[in-house]
Amino acid sequence: MSALSFKEPDRVPLFLTLTMHGAKELGLSLKDYFASPQNIFEAQVKMQKKYSNDFYCGIYYGPIEIEILGVEVIFPEDGPPNSGDPLIKKFSDIRNLNFPHVNKCKKLKDVLKSISLLKEYSKGEVPIVGVAMSPFSVPVMQLGFDKYMELIYQNESSFNELMEKNKKFCIEWSNAQLDAGATAVAYFDPVSSTTIINREQFIKTGYIIAKDTIKNIKGPVAMHFASGRCLNIIDLLPDIKIAMAGVSILEDLQKLKAASYGKFSLAGNLNGIEMRSWTTDETDEIVKGAIIKGGPGGGFILSDNHGEIPFQVSEEILLGISETVKKYGNYPIIK
């Protein structure tokens, strides 16, 4: 809370977004791991202690939000669960799209159970972060990427209809997680990044949608661009009333910090893909560099830049990140 208030705490907070590594901790396949809220609870508690992590990750997997609509979820052996064939085959299908209530979905109730177990266990001493896909980004799974781009640019009425339905669900789902005990919600919105759409289009779409949605979420919200760039739109983000933004390794952390300081905090921006092949020395150097760039003055949480650390990142490297934070992350930051 000190860091988020632009004060310097005892050290830079560390958020290792370990959505899948709990399966390794419990000796389970990813599919079996995500089958029980007790698994996620037990693994998050173990990993928080093991890696000196400063939060519990209440996140399961992105496609859970369309799995409840009947879409298949594919579980690879060594990677994040992914969505199967899109639900919406033609734009007219949007008219018949109806989300079930959160309390009627076993998968979502499992997530809420994990969060409530973590809340009860932590007694409020460790923050818990939930997640909701933004109404503007979830259609990549609902329609497929190419079809969704066509919808944005060529069918305004169907686009608006889909956004209204997605906003309603996003608000309900976010607030349900907060009610269950989540401290904050990560609003994942990669399509709003300038990696995918330009500033002008963002102003017309993702920006308005985020404002309309986030104002109805009854708790702190972090807008996460999931590796996408946001420096060219960072001046617009304070109007959305976010507490934090997840930023990309593709942009300069010092520039991002200078543009956001005092308005909202940053989380980032370690490269999870490259992290899979880091050496111990590289880990030390890269993590130290991020701390020096982002840490001074607070307003910064060290994390990966995507919001999910790849399954292939080793325990050795995760422990190395944690130890480097303890070594170089104490305030005042020494360059």
In tens, the pLDDT along 26-55 reads 999 999 999 999 999 999 999 999 999 999
Percent of the chain with pLDDT over 70: 100
Q: What is the mean pLDDT of the chain?
A: 97
With vertex at residue 242, the alpha carbon angle to CA 212 and CA 271, rounded to the nearest 5 degrees, is 120
Percent of the chain with pLDDT over 90: 99
pLDDT score, position 248? 98
Q: How far apart are CA 38 and CA 277, in angstroms?
A: 31
End-to-end CA distance of the chain: 24
How far is CA 102 from its chain centroid? 20
pLDDT score, position 240? 98
**pLDDT over 90 (residue 90):** yes
Is the peptide bond preceding residue 310 cis, with omega within 30 degrees of 0? no
Show Cβ contacts of residue 89 under 8 Å, excluding neighbours closer than 6 positions. Answer: none
Give the Cβ contact number of residue 295 at 10 Å.
27
Pair of tokens at residue 79: 């990677």
Backbone angles phi, psi at 134, to 5 degrees: -65, 150
Q: Grade residue 252 by pLDDT with cuts at 50, 70 and 90.
A: very high
Question: DSSP state, 330?
Answer: B
**pLDDT over 90 (residue 74):** yes
Q: Which domains does the chain have, with CATH numbers?
A: 3-328 (3.20.20.210)
- The SS3 call for residue 232 is helix
Comparing CA positions, the residue from 275, 245, 277, 270 lying closest to residue 260 is 245
pLDDT score, position 334? 85
Show Cβ contacts of residue 211 under 8 Å, excluding neighbours closer than 6 positions. Answer: 239, 240, 241
Comparing CA positions, the residue from 45, 44, 56, 177 lying closest to residue 108 is 177
Q: Grade residue 325 by pLDDT with cuts at 50, 70 and 90.
A: very high
Q: Grade residue 335 by pLDDT with cuts at 50, 70 and 90.
A: confident
